[in-house]
Amino acid sequence: GPLRLHYTAFTGDVTSKHGAGEHGLTAAPPTFHEVLREALAARATGELGPATTEQMRVTAALTEWCIAEVAAAR
C-alpha cells in the first residue's frame, strides 16, 4: 500500500505490511495514528471486519499524504 511505497521512497528498503504500519506511526502525522493502530490490530488478530466510512475517509487522506510527501521529496 501507500505506506510501503512511502517507506521505500525514503529508506530505499522494502518492508512488510506490518512494518509499513509501524513506519506510519513514526512518519505520518498523528491524525492518522488511530486508523493505523486499528489496522495493525486487525492484522494481528485476523479480525478483518468491514471498514467504517470514517476509516475509509482517513485512509484516503493518508494515501494523499503519502503521495504528497514522496512528490515533495523528488
Give the residue extent of every domain in the chain.
2-73
Burial (CB < 10 A; 0-12, 13-18, 19+), residue 43, is middle
pTM of structure = 0.91
Quote the crossing angle between the two packed helices 17-27 and 33-45, to the nearest 10°.
160
The yes-or-no verdict on residue 74 having pLDDT over 90 is no
Task: Tell me how far apart the alpha carbons of residues 26 and 71 are, in angstroms, rounded to a whole number.
Answer: 19
Specify whether the CB–CB gap between 28 and 62 falls below 8 A. Answer: yes
Statement: residue 53 has pLDDT above 90: yes
